[in-house]
């Protein structure tokens, strides 16, 4: 409760996955109360569980926000830090919808008055319901209802937000600065202005042929906004205001909303099969093969190109995410959380809802799952979506000497392995048969 007249007119806004000033309803709600303190807390539980690229990306965007507004930065368990900094003031947030975020906010909410305005989604998870009030199980039905539900216009940008500078914890600042300095590779430019520049460049030059270009991993045909959307440097509502709601781009954003909705209703699906139909499935634990998958040395060019793109940039093209996930689950017969964990360690857009349900879609255990008998063929997929072999040559230098399509089938060339490109670790046709047998047995 407010402790003085001054406190009665001031509040706290706690930034989490909403590192922006534009289109930020929680910030506006805090400012409506008068002066506010803007807080970011480096949470050791999340920090320790992130790899260096993810930490650097988060840190760079927090520091970019701190250049725009006076941001008070602390380190520690938010359950302890937020009540201390709030000192009796009301705390404004955008609702968090992941299992960890919900638990944390419930705990913080027992100590302070927590006011949630908006969420990282155009339509908050849990709000799109079917005729009987339950969640949608299938994406196409969800997307239709999501469009019908609609979303508000972007919130106005505060002109000169009345934010009080606070005392940051030097240790927290040091962690952030060290993380940026320790980035394992060049990250995309951080911050809201960079995110908007990227969006405008894509909107003006890429959106018109997105339907086709988005499936070409070598082509820069997608928006590359996922790392910004993940941290809320940009809100999807701002993008939806600039595209047709029936466009393919809006549909892709709907996938993000769908998976957040699935996780909202079934928090346990973060790390376990959403559908129990394959509970009896037999999985392997082939350590060497999983290591070859992680390091991009499976002998299947498009799989290796994707895994190396991930290692060297913290991002992977969507088509190749599906191919590499299929390879781990169906060619190596590994349970999907093993791969989901690896992706989450490395992806700078790593998002538990989109990632883990993307994995389950491929593995056949999720909502709206691809039929279990659909096994991606890494060679035909490569030839179809990277017909000239450019993507493979870009990421696998051992294949750079192979012209055109040959890069996808080095074993067909006399010189295909002359630069030590590994031989295939498994025979796809055999493993496909094996996967189908296991799926059929599990379903019985
Ligand atoms: C196994 C697997 C793991 C994935 N892990 C993640 C993840 O951790 N984080 C993540 O943001 N996306 C994930 N995706 C979805 C998708 O691959 C990425 O969102 C996309 O590649 C990001 O690139 P982009 O911003 O250029 O996408 P665009 O094609 O420009 O799409 C625009 C936005 O729509 C959303 N989107 C597009 N496709 C999907 C999808 N299939 N599922 C959910 N949202 C989507 C993203 O927010 C994306 O930024 C995963 C997909 C698979 C198959």
Ligand 1 neighbourhood includes 315 CB (under 6 angstroms): no
| SS3 readout for the chain | CCCCHHHHCEEEEEECCCCCCCCCHHHHHHHHCCEEEEEEEECHHHHHCCCHHHHHHHHHHHHHHHHHCCEEEEECCHHHHHHHHHCCCCEEECCCCCHHHHHHHHHHHHHCCEEECCCCCCCCCCCCCCCCCCCCCCHHHHHHHHHHHCCCCCCCCCCCCCECCCCCCHHHHHHHHHHHHCCCCCCCCCCHHHHHHHHHHHHHHCHHHHHHHCCCCCCCCCCCCHHHHHHCCCCHHHHHCCCCCCCHHHHHHHHHHHHHHHHHHCHHHHCCCCCHHHCCCCCCCCHHHHHHHHHCCCCCHHHHHHHHHHHHHCCCCHHHHHHHHHHHHHHCCCCHHHHHHHHHHHCCCCCHHHHHHHHHHHHCCCCCCCCCCCCCCHHHHHHHHCCCCHHHHHHCHHHCCCCHHHHHCHHHCCCCCCCCCCCCCCCHHHHHHHHHHHHHHHHC
Ligand 1 neighbourhood includes 122 CB (under 6 angstroms): no
What are phi and psi for residue 39, nearest 5 degrees?
A: -120, 140
pLDDT tops 50 at residue 13: yes
Please tell me the distance between residue 88's alpha carbon and the centre of ligand 1 in angstroms.
40
pLDDT tops 90 at residue 160: no
| SS3 readout for 370-417 | CCCCCCCCHHHHHHHHCCCCHHHHHHCHHHCCCCHHHHHCHHHCCCCC
CB atoms within 10 A of CB 172: 20
**Do 108 and 232 meet the contact criterion of CB atoms below 8 Å apart?**
no
Strand partners, 73: 40
CA 18 to chain centre: 14
Please tell me the distance between residue 353's alpha carbon and the centre of ligand 1 in angstroms.
10
In tens, the pLDDT along 83-101 reads: 999 999 999 999 999 999 9
Measured by CA distance, the residue closest to atom 16 of ligand 1 is 318
**Ligand 1 atom closest to the CA of 359, numbered from 1:** 1
285 confidence band (pLDDT: 50, 70, 90): very high
Please tell me the distance between residue 33's alpha carbon and the centre of ligand 1 in angstroms.
37
pLDDT tops 80 at residue 8: no
Q: Which two tokens stand for residue 297?
A: 């040395």
Q: Which pLDDT score, from 0 to 100, does residue 64 have?
A: 98
Q: What percent of the chain has pLDDT over 90?
A: 92
Burial label for 190, CB within 10 Å (0-12, 13-18, 19+), is buried
Strand partners, 163: 36
Contacts 24+ apart (CB under 8 A), 319-324: 319/215, 319/216, 319/217, 319/381, 319/385, 320/217, 320/391, 321/358, 322/358, 322/362, 322/376, 323/376, 323/378, 323/381, 323/382, 324/293
pLDDT tops 80 at residue 1: no
Residues 76 and 182: their CA atoms lie apart, in Å, by 21
CB atoms within 10 A of CB 35: 15
Q: Which two tokens stand for residue 326?
A: 């299929």
pLDDT tops 90 at residue 313: yes
Please tell me the distance between residue 250's alpha carbon and the centre of ligand 1 in angstroms.
12
What are phi and psi for residue 218, nearest 5 degrees?
A: -80, -25
Q: Which pLDDT score, from 0 to 100, does residue 372 have?
A: 72
In tens, the pLDDT along 111-146 reads: 999 999 999 999 999 999 999 999 999 999 999 999
Measured by CA distance, the residue closest to atom 6 of ligand 1 is 355
Strand partners, 121: none
Q: Which two tokens stand for residue 406?
A: 């040959």
- The tokens 């007119």 sit on which residue? 9
pLDDT tops 80 at residue 371: no
Please tell me the distance between residue 324's alpha carbon and the centre of ligand 1 in angstroms.
14
In tens, the pLDDT along 34-79 reads: 999 999 999 999 999 889 999 999 999 999 999 999 999 999 999 9
Ligand 1 neighbourhood includes 333 CB (under 6 angstroms): no
Ligand 1 neighbourhood includes 304 CB (under 6 angstroms): no
Burial label for 69, CB within 10 Å (0-12, 13-18, 19+), is middle
Residues 16 and 27: their CA atoms lie apart, in Å, by 12
Please tell me the distance between residue 220's alpha carbon and the centre of ligand 1 in angstroms.
14
Domains in the chain, ordered, with CATH?
7-119 (3.40.50.620), 121-153+193-265 (1.25.40.80), 276-443 (1.10.579.10)
Ligand 1 neighbourhood includes 359 CB (under 6 angstroms): yes
| Widest Cα–Cα separation across the chain | 82
pLDDT tops 60 at residue 3: no
Q: Which pLDDT score, from 0 to 100, does residue 277 have?
A: 85
**Do 379 and 409 meet the contact criterion of CB atoms below 8 Å apart?**
yes
Q: Which pLDDT score, from 0 to 100, does residue 276 have?
A: 87
In tens, the pLDDT along 230-277 reads: 999 999 999 999 999 999 999 999 999 999 999 999 999 999 999 888
pLDDT tops 50 at residue 391: yes
Q: What percent of the chain has pLDDT over 70?
A: 97
**Ligand 1 atom closest to the CA of 344, numbered from 1:** 8
pLDDT tops 50 at residue 6: no
Ligand 1 neighbourhood includes 230 CB (under 6 angstroms): yes
Please tell me the distance between residue 318's alpha carbon and the centre of ligand 1 in angstroms.
6
Q: Which pLDDT score, from 0 to 100, does residue 155 have?
A: 97
Ligand 1 neighbourhood includes 40 CB (under 6 angstroms): no
Please tell me the distance between residue 354's alpha carbon and the centre of ligand 1 in angstroms.
7
Please tell me the distance between residue 137's alpha carbon and the centre of ligand 1 in angstroms.
19
Residue to mutate, 334, 342, 354, ligand 1, most ligand atoms under 8 Å from C-beta: 354
Q: Which pLDDT score, from 0 to 100, does residue 369 have?
A: 57
């Amino acid at each position: 409760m407010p402790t003085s007249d001054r406190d009665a007119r001031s509040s706290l806004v706690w930034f989490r996955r909403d590192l922006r000033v534009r289109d930020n309803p929680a910030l506006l709600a805090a400012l409506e109360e008068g002066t506010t303190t803007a807080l970011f807390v480096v949470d050791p539980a999340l920090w320790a569980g992130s790899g260096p690229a993810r930490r650097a990306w988060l840190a760079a965007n927090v520091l970019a926000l701190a250049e725009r507004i006076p941001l008070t930065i602390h380190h520690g368990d938010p359950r302890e830090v937020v009540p201390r900094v709030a000192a009796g003031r009301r705390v404004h947030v955008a609702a968090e919808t992941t299992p960890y975020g919900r638990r944390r906010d419930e705990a913080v909410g027992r100590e302070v008055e927590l006011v949630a305005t908006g969420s990282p989604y155009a339509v908050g998870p849990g709000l799109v319901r079917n005729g009987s009030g339950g969640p949608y199980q299938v994406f196409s039905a969800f997307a239709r209802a999501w469009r019908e539900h609609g979303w508000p216009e972007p919130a106005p940008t505060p002109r000169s937000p009345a934010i009080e500078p606070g005392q940051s914890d030097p240790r927290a600042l040091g962690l952030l600065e060290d993380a940026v300095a320790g980035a394992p590779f060049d990250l995309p430019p951080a911050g809201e202005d960079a995110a908007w520049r990227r969006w405008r460049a894509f909107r003006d030059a890429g959106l018109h042929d997105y339907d086709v270009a988005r499936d070409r991993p070598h082509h820069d045909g997608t928006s590359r906004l996922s790392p910004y959307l993940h941290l809320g440097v940009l809100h999807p509502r701002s993008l939806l205001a600039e595209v047709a709601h029936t466009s393919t781009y809006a549909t892709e954003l709907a996938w993000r909303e769908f998976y957040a909705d699935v996780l909202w209703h079934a928090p346990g699906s973060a790390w376990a099969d959403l559908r129990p139909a394959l509970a009896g499935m037999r999985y392997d634990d082939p350590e060497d093969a999983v290591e070859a998958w992680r390091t991009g040395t499976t002998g299947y060019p498009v799989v290796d190109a994707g895994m190396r793109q991930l290692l060297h940039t913290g991002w992977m093209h969507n088509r190749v995410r599906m191919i590499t996930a299929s390879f781990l689950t169906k060619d190596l017969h590994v349970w999907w959380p093993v791969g989901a964990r690896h992706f989450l360690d490395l992806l700078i857009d790593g998002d538990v809802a989109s990632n883990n349900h993307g994995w389950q879609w491929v593995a056949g255990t999720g909502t709206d799952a691809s039929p279990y008998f659909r096994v991606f063929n890494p060679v035909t997929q490569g030839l179809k979506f990277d017909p000239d072999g450019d993507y493979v040559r870009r990421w696998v230098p051992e294949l750079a000497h192979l012209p055109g399509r040959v890069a996808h089938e080095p074993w067909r060339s006399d010189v295909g392995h002359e630069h030590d490109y590994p031989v295939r670790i498994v025979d796809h046709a055999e493993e496909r048969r094996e996967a189908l047998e296991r799926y059929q047995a599990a379903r019985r």
